[in-house]
Chain A
Amino acid sequence: MTLHPILAALRRHKVAALLIVLQIALTLAIVSNAVFIIGHHVQRMMRPTGMVEEGLIRIVQQWPAAPSGDDDAAIEKLDALQRADLETLRSLPDVQEVAASTSNPLLSGYIDGYVSLDADQKGQSVHVAYYYGDQNLRSTFGLHLIAGRDFSADEIRHGRAAPGSPVIIVSKPVADRLFPNGNALGQTVYQDGKPATIVGIVERLQNPRWMDSDWVYNSVIEPLRQDDAWTGYMVRARPGRTDEAMREIRKALFATNPMRLMPEPYAGIHTFAELRARAYRSDRGIALLMGLICLILLSVTAAGIVGLTSFWVVQRHRQIGVRRALGARRIDILRYFQLENLLIAGSGAIIGVLLAFELNHWLMTHYEMTRLPPHYVAIGTVAILVLAQASVLVPARRASNVPPVVATRSV
Chain B
Amino acid sequence: MFAYYVELAMRSLRRSPGLTALMILTIGFGVAASMTTYSVFRGLSADPIPWKSDRLFVPQIDAWGPGNRRAGGEPEVAFGYLDAMTLMRQHRAKRQSAIYSISASVMPSSSGRNRSPIPIDGYAVYDEFFPMLDVTFHYGSSWSADDDAHLSPVVVISDKVNKEVFGGGNSVGKMIDIDNREYRIVGVTNDWNPQPNFYYTVDVGYGPDMPDMFMPFPYAVANNIAQAGWDGCRKGEVDPGSDFTALLRSDCVWIGYMVELDDAMAVQQYRGYLDAYASEQQKAGRFHWAPNTRLRDVPAFLDYQHVVPSDTRVSLLVAQGLLIVCLVNTVGLLLAKFLRRSGEVAVRRALGASRTAIYAQFLTEAGVIGVGGGVLGLLFTAVGMLSVGQVLPARLAAMAKIEPDLLSLTLLLAVAATLVAGIYPAYRAARVLPAWQLKAQ
Contact = CB atoms under 8 A, between A and B. Distances in A.
A69 B238 contact: no
Interface string B320-342: 01101110110111011101100
Contacts, number: 176
B310 A368 contact: yes
Contacts of B86: none
Contacts of A282: 309, 311, 391-393, 396
B325 A297 contact: yes
Interface size band for B: 35 or more
B47 interface: no
A110 to B, nearest CB: 10
B329 A304 contact: yes
Interface string B93-114: 0000000000111000000001
Contacts of A113: 238-239
A111 B246 CA distance: 16
A331 interface: no
B73 interface: no
A258 interface: yes
A291 to B, nearest CB: 11
Contact of A30 (B118, B239, B310, B322): B322
A307 B19 contact: yes
Interface stretch (A159-167, A168-176, A196-204): A159-167
A70 B105 contact: no
A64 B238 CA distance: 26
A111 B239 contact: yes
Contacts of B309: 282
Contact of B322 (A162, A261, A293, A314): A293
A118 interface: no
Residues of B contacting A: mostly:
helix
A111 B241 contact: yes
Given A161-B242, A286-B391, A314-B340, A261 B117 contact: yes
Most A CB contacts (10 A, CB to CB) among B322, B325, B392 go to B325
Nearest to A120: B236
Contacts of B314: 37, 363, 367, 369
Contacts of B424: 15
Interface stretch (A18-26, A136-144, A373-381): A18-26
B420 interface: no
Residues of A contacting B: mostly:
helix
Interface residues of A, number: 69
Given A65-B179, A300-B326, A303-B26, A229 B318 contact: no
A354 interface: no
A68 B244 contact: yes
B433 interface: no
A289 interface: yes
Contacts of A260: 116
A16 interface: yes
Given A65-B105, A111-B241, A160-B243, A258 B318 contact: no
Interface of A: 15-16, 19-20, 22-23, 26-27, 29-30, 33-34, 37, 62, 64-65, 67-70, 111, 113-114, 121, 160-164, 192-193, 228-230, 254-255, 258-263, 278, 281-282, 285-286, 288-290, 293, 296-297, 300-301, 303-304, 307-308, 310-312, 314-315, 363, 367-369, 411
List the 6 closest A-B pairs by CB distance, nearest first. Answer: A285-B391, A311-B336, A65-B179, A68-B226, A64-B105, A263-B119
15 contacts: A34-B318, A62-B119, A65-B104, A69-B243, A111-B239, A111-B241, A229-B103, A258-B115, A259-B116, A282-B309, A288-B391, A303-B22, A303-B329, A304-B329, A311-B337
